[in-house]
Amino acid sequence: MSHKVFHLPDLGEGLTEAEVVSWLVGPGDVVVVDQPIAVVETAKAQVELPCPYAGSVVTLHGGAGHVVDVGAPFITVDVDVPADGMPNGGPAAVTGEGGEGEVSEVVVETYREEERAGSGAVLIGYGTSEGSRRRRRRVGTGGPTAPAAGSSLPSAGPVMGDTAAPVVDERVPADIAGAPAAGDEVSSKPGAAVRVISPLVRQLAAEHGIDLRTVTPTAPGGIIRRCDVMAAVASRGDGEAAGFVAAQPVSAPGPTPRSPAPDRRIPLTGIRGTIASRLTTSRREIPDATTWVDVDATDFLAARRRLAEARPDARIGVLGLLGRIVVAGLRRYPELNATVDTAANEVVVRGAINLGFAAQSPRGLVVPVVHGAGEMSLADLSTALRELTAKAMDGTLTPAEMTGGTFTLNNYGGYGVDGSTPIINHPEAAMVGVGRLVDKPWVVDGALAVRTVGTIGLTFDHRVCDGGTAGGFVRYVADCIERPVTLLLDL
């Protein structure tokens, strides 16, 4: 008794394991070379796994649902049991009785290279063993054989002086499939015993509806490769077009595809270089976190309209009112108006509130700074924001007006977005952002209503405070937006 253990091969993509979906054979069953024995599933696909040995199944190493590592025993086969006319059923061994004709060695390595399936991972464990790569077969002399009863395939006829064998699969008994007798030749031409090693080739044939028994192999030893299946697909397409599809008018040639535009290189100099350097430093040094909350801004917008009606000369805008709320929040939570002195390993809480805000300029996004914003009234703050915005658009901001900020307000809702996780303006410790204000369904006093809703987000340096402080600041800002009258308590 000689047992052969088939180890789970690498099924491609460098996968390390596969789950047994179902077994197609059981202990005591007789199997032939290349017969599917199980359906396995990897992280990439579900495939049938063929057996490289012929004989009787002894052991299934794991039941359905069992996960098998690549290289672990998968199935044990007693190869001393004859199977389908293949005694001593070593892998890919087909032997006649008394035949002396010898075929050339099957170059398994060449086949394995063909079946990499584009992933760089070789299907390991298929094909002949190292000690049994040469095989003998009897050269038959029989004439043409009729196809099996009920077959839709035409009878095989002589081709180039050779004798074609009937359509037969090694897995089908000879008395059913019209297989040749033990002494007849097992041909590698279409209609002969199917010799497919790779499950990827089987899957490809199934996807295209190709009968592997009709595929002409090109590899040594009559092994069907992927290129053979694709050739059959192309051949079938030509035949169908000629036999069943009426000639179609030739369409006019389409426009010639244009060449892609050449790459452009934009130097990171000037203000763009400064921004890039500062953002890189911020991302590298600051362990930031973000928290946010949705707010009902209906009353906030109503308050702004009433202020505009009461003081039209002050020109109170949304940004000015938001800035005043942020300043009040920083007075209540001063830890966010800070910076980190890495040299001294200290958090420096700033006494002055210098409010920066994001603005668009001809040179890109800039952050003008309202110095002393913590000491300004709502009207004064609105005026300062308006003047700096005009300078940014004209490109006339001075260096002093773009430096020295302690906290940044980012109104990215002007870009039509709901939220963001911005990069903190180094060396500051936090940035608050306001998304767009749009009408949405909102529950008010237990009833559904249409309200103007937006999102307030805070990105902060986790070294200067914990989540409680950050959450308290965001909640305070949100409460002031939802009920602007509460802002009077901190004036």
Residues with catalytic function: 462
CB count, 10 Å around CB of 96?
18
The H or E element spanning position 72 is none
Under 8 Å between Cβ of 407 and 430: yes
Q: Strand order of the sheet with strand 17-23?
A: 46-50, 36-41, 17-23, 67-69
Task: Return the amino acid letter for 97.
Answer: E
Pairing of strands 355-357, 407-410: parallel
